[in-house]
A and B are shown apart, each in its own frame.
Chain A
Amino acid sequence: MELIFGLDHKRPEREPPEGIPVSLLRQGRLPLPNPSELEVLRHYTRLSQQNFSVDTQFYPLGSCTMKYNPRIAHELAVQRGFSRLHPATPARAQQGLLQCLWELQEWLTALTGMAAASLTPAAGAQGELAGVAMIRAYHRRLGDSGRTRFLIPQGAHGTNPASARMAGFDVSEIPCGPEGDMDLEALDRALGPDVAGIMLTNPSVLGTFERQIAEVARRVHAAGGLLYYDGANLNAILGRVKPGVMGFDAMHLNLHKTFATPHGGGGPGSGVVAVSAALEPYLPVPRVGRDSCGWCWETRRNHPDSIGQLGGYGGSVAVLLRAHAYIRRLGAKGLRRVSAYAALNANYLLKELQRAGYLAAFPQRRAGHEFVLSLQDLRETTGVRALDVVKRLLDFGIHAPTVYFPQLVPECLLVEPTETESRATLDRFVAVMAKIRREAMETPEILFGAPHHLPVKRLDEALAARRLEVAG
């Protein structure tokens, strides 16, 4: 589509303001267009129609938890009493907001079985950074600055090693065994006085529950390390297993996954962190506290050992409000149903896809909220790759599952249906996948050329990087 910059009407030039030296002012016109309001409305409405979204398509996107985003949460979060509030407003003029945030902090602490939480991290990756930074601060407080290495399981989310590196750590990977559980002998070999801790998600990126988690925690703690829980897969165990009980010391929650806040085309998210009592002093500030006058923002003055501030203010407040509304609406029982039906949908879908001829990467294991398929057999017999299959899915109005992740399973799809999809939607997905499998056998060229019915066909990503035309 044409760019907005083509929609331009001339406007008169403006006199420069008095009192500002010319040398500090912009010379010449500001190179932005002047479209009419209707032109703007049409332009972006039409662009929106070129998107897939949860509101319009099924999104079985592993590790992303693309569930329905309840509209009541949006409506309530953008009320003017919240949306027009400047962060410098004195606490006594924001008690309604602070009460919501304080409750959310309490609820998330309870849900995770931790001792305390801080709402400030702006996204999961920032929560991870906060987590490893707290673990670093903890060791240093004990006078131990020799712990320079973090362990992660093979195939972990890419943010894990990147966050550990941002906090100045080196990273080592621990392999997993044939059933997806961690190789404990390899763990023992990796542990030592230079290990600060381990970053894990459970269920793992393979969609299976790490059954030896209590033993992993025991061994890491015995070696002086701490455990960080990557909350990306929390939807699988919500209200059933608390990371604190599994032995984790610090964690983040992705509110845009588990707590139904929107993904928004890639942000804004929220990566609330929760920690055990030992790490509580190091939580990032500001935190929401309570004193004789009501609720308040607590800063470094209240928490001198804090790792500090990660963003300008108290976090993604409007996202936090949506998560607050979601938890309040569902309550304890509703939250436990989330994990139950997320698991039911995943296990049902896995069985039905196996029946349609697809191979599970870990057929002997119960799926958590998601599962891994390998299309290696299809590749060997037909030349069709996982990428071709997911591009063909787009033609049927179904978003691609996560593809080529986790990297340790060849030609894999990571499929996560979420609890908000109906059986009928899952059945249609299975029927489409069965049809695509037949196409792969009979007319693979249809798949190689897919998608056929979208606004554009497969894009030349190599050309994009070579030309690097990134502004118009």
Chain B
Amino acid sequence: MPYIPHDPDETAVMLATVGLDSLDALFDEIPAALQCDVLEIPDGISERALRREMEHRAAQQPDLRCFAGGGVYAHHIPALVWEIAGRGEFYSAYTPYQPEASQGTLQTLYEFQSCITRLTGMDISNASLHDGPTALAEACLMALRLRQDRNRAILVPATLWPHWRAVLETILGLQDIQLVLLPMDPGTGRLILPEQGLDEREPAAMIIPQIGIFGVLEDVDTLSLWAEQQGLLRIAVCSPYALAMLKPPVEWGERGVDIAVGEAQPLGVPLSGGGPYLGFLACRRDHVRQLPGRLVAKTVDREGREGYCLTLQAREQHIRRGKATSNICTSQGLLVTAATIHMGALGADGLQQAAWESHRLAVRLQSLLLDIPGVQGTCPGPIFQEFAVRFPLPARYLQDRLLEAGILAGIPLQDWGMGEDGDMLVACTELLDDQDLEEYAAAIRQILQEGRLAWN
């Protein structure tokens, strides 16, 4: 019996203690009409048969050099990150409700919070949320609680990733919160601010992505200043590797932003086909009472020794129930542990080195691709590690063809219902090298040439 230790004698003795003669009798309070005998599930298999089956399944995914991003990226993860995060003491621990028995997890969460405040410059970070998009949705709800004098509406830029906007529509839509779209200039990939200021709808907050949907860096100071003038709370959307190079949200505009969120997956969390990931949410100190999610604080024990515990739990569902700041029950514990170890393992220098290299590769690939006849840029602005490019053939077709060369070429913008047929969003990380870029460009050149021959 997998994972159940009882032998027949033990089972018999235990049943006798309970005063029953069969295991089925343990369910005697359940009406017979509700009980079932048959499960439409295959028979179990041995561990070795399972391994064989699943190794075969895993092998069906080809090894690809990853040029896809869109908010989650294939950065290098040092070997020690999961060596430690995978230790049973982290892996199989519970949420740290018993602080004396959870100092390892608690201090790690505290260090994560500290790292996020150091990256963003904000005062306070929670111990993570489910992923970047849900962190943004929670930030919007938080902003609405902070600005109850305003309409239940949020300014959402067209430069926000569409899958992030989709999550806002789901979660904020449930409370009939209005999403007011700020348009983008398709020529620059940057936001267009309304010349007249805001109309009478007066939203509570504005979302400001540091990097737009086409990879172009936004003029965050101008956007923040404008939002300040309109009396809006500012919610920054940032990416951790980009923050190693770019201006932290605490410095945007005159006063800095109110809330900063982002997807922390790049910090040591494997891509794993879409999850689990972790979102971060940081804010100003005076907003802390409206912060959703777990928060760890430093304190002392009876003998004055330093220790850590969960704090402000009165915001949370297990205490506050229906009046909680969110229904979220926990954080992304193990992934927070990995992200914290990852930041330690890279250090400031390693994080910046990876950011600089990702940027260099992206700029180089952009220029290699633009050198190919027929390939056009979409937006001219400065980029970090990702850019959009317009191919003369459908991006989905090219993505499919490049799989044969062992390359995941990027994200066809049509997958997001955006741009033109040939538009592809391409990302680079330090996992790639110059040869990978040259092979990418050569493969594109080759396919386009074939295409031209076919046309002629």
Residue ID in chain A nearest B169 by CB atoms: A308
Partner of A459, one of B62, B108, B273, B301: B301
Interface residues of B in 150-170 (CB under 8 A from A): 163-164, 166-167, 169-170
Contact B318 A158 (CB under 8 A): yes
Q: Mark contacts of A54-67 with chain B using CB atoms, 8 A cut-off: 1 yes-contact digit, 0 otherwise.
A: 11110101001011
Q: Mark contacts of B313-328 with chain A using CB atoms, 8 A cut-off: 1 yes-contact digit, 0 otherwise.
A: 0001111111110111
Contact B41 A331 (CB under 8 A): yes
Whether A443 is near chain B, meaning CB under 8 Å from some CB there, is no
Distance from B18 Cβ to chain A, minimum over Cβ atoms (Å): 5
Residue ID in chain A nearest B314 by CB atoms: A465
Contact B326 A166 (CB under 8 A): yes
Interface residues of A in 304-353 (CB under 8 A from B): 307-319, 325, 327-341, 343-345, 347-348, 351-352
Whether A124 is near chain B, meaning CB under 8 Å from some CB there, is yes
With contact pairs A24-B382, A318-B270, A471-B123 given, residues A456 and B219 touching in the complex (Cβ less than 8 Å):
no
Contact B72 A122 (CB under 8 A): no
Contact A158 B61 (CB under 8 A): no
Partner of B94, one of A30, A265, A465: A265
Contact A315 B275 (CB under 8 A): yes
Interface residues of A in 249-264 (CB under 8 A from B): 260, 262-264
A414: chain B residues at CB < 8 Å are none
Distance from A468 Cβ to chain B, minimum over Cβ atoms (Å): 6
Can you spell out 18 A-B residue pairs with CB atoms less than 8 angstroms apart? A19-B363, A32-B118, A40-B80, A54-B92, A78-B270, A87-B274, A113-B36, A126-B328, A158-B321, A158-B329, A159-B317, A164-B322, A208-B29, A209-B29, A264-B92, A267-B330, A331-B43, A332-B44
A437: chain B residues at CB < 8 Å are none
Interface residues of B in 202-234 (CB under 8 A from A): 217, 219-221
List 6 additional A-B contacts (Cβ < 8 Å) besides A3-B111, A158-B318: A52-B98, A86-B68, A97-B61, A315-B274, A317-B274, A455-B307
Partner of B53, one of A56, A317, A328, A366: A328
A265: chain B residues at CB < 8 Å are 90, 93-96, 102, 104-105, 108-109, 333-334, 336-337
Contact B344 A4 (CB under 8 A): yes
Distance from B45 Cβ to chain A, minimum over Cβ atoms (Å): 6
Contact A32 B327 (CB under 8 A): no
Partner of B345, one of A14, A37, A209, A348: A37
Residue ID in chain A nearest B243 by CB atoms: A26
Whether A47 is near chain B, meaning CB under 8 Å from some CB there, is yes
Whether B375 is near chain A, meaning CB under 8 Å from some CB there, is no
Contact A394 B2 (CB under 8 A): no
Contact A122 B275 (CB under 8 A): yes
What separation, in Å, do the CA atoms of A48 and B104 have in the docked complex?
5
Contact B329 A34 (CB under 8 A): no
Contact B41 A327 (CB under 8 A): yes
Q: Mark contacts of B294-315 with chain A using CB atoms, 8 A cut-off: 1 yes-contact digit, 0 otherwise.
A: 1111111111010111011000
B70: chain A residues at CB < 8 Å are 88
Whether A226 is near chain B, meaning CB under 8 Å from some CB there, is no
Partner of A399, one of B34, B88, B94: B94
Which bucket holds chain A's interface residue count? 35 or more
B108: chain A residues at CB < 8 Å are 44, 47, 265
Partner of B100, one of A83, A171, A451, A471: A451
Contact B39 A85 (CB under 8 A): no
Contact B104 A313 (CB under 8 A): no
Distance from B119 Cβ to chain A, minimum over Cβ atoms (Å): 7
With contact pairs A33-B347, A237-B30, A470-B110 given, residues A310 and B35 touching in the complex (Cβ less than 8 Å):
no
Contact B39 A336 (CB under 8 A): yes
Partner of A86, one of B115, B360, B408: B408
Residue ID in chain B nearest A167 by CB atoms: B174
Chain B CB count within 10 A is highest, among A264, A270, A420, for: A264
Partner of B327, one of A20, A113, A165: A165
Residue ID in chain B nearest A160 by CB atoms: B321
Contact A338 B4 (CB under 8 A): yes
Whether A185 is near chain B, meaning CB under 8 Å from some CB there, is no
Give the top 3 A-B pairs by smallest Cβ distance, nearest first: A331-B44, A264-B334, A313-B274
Partner of B61, one of A85, A133, A419: A85
What separation, in Å, do the CA atoms of A48 and B340 have in the docked complex?
13
What separation, in Å, do the CA atoms of A278 and B53 have in the docked complex?
35
Query: Among B128-136, B179-187, B433-441, B446-454, which stretch is in contact with chain A?
Result: B128-136
Chain B CB count within 10 A is highest, among A59, A107, A308, A470, for: A470
Residue ID in chain B nearest A260 by CB atoms: B3
What separation, in Å, do the CA atoms of A256 and B322 have in the docked complex?
24
Whether B373 is near chain A, meaning CB under 8 Å from some CB there, is no
Contact B382 A21 (CB under 8 A): yes
B328: chain A residues at CB < 8 Å are 123, 125-126
Residue ID in chain B nearest A307 by CB atoms: B170
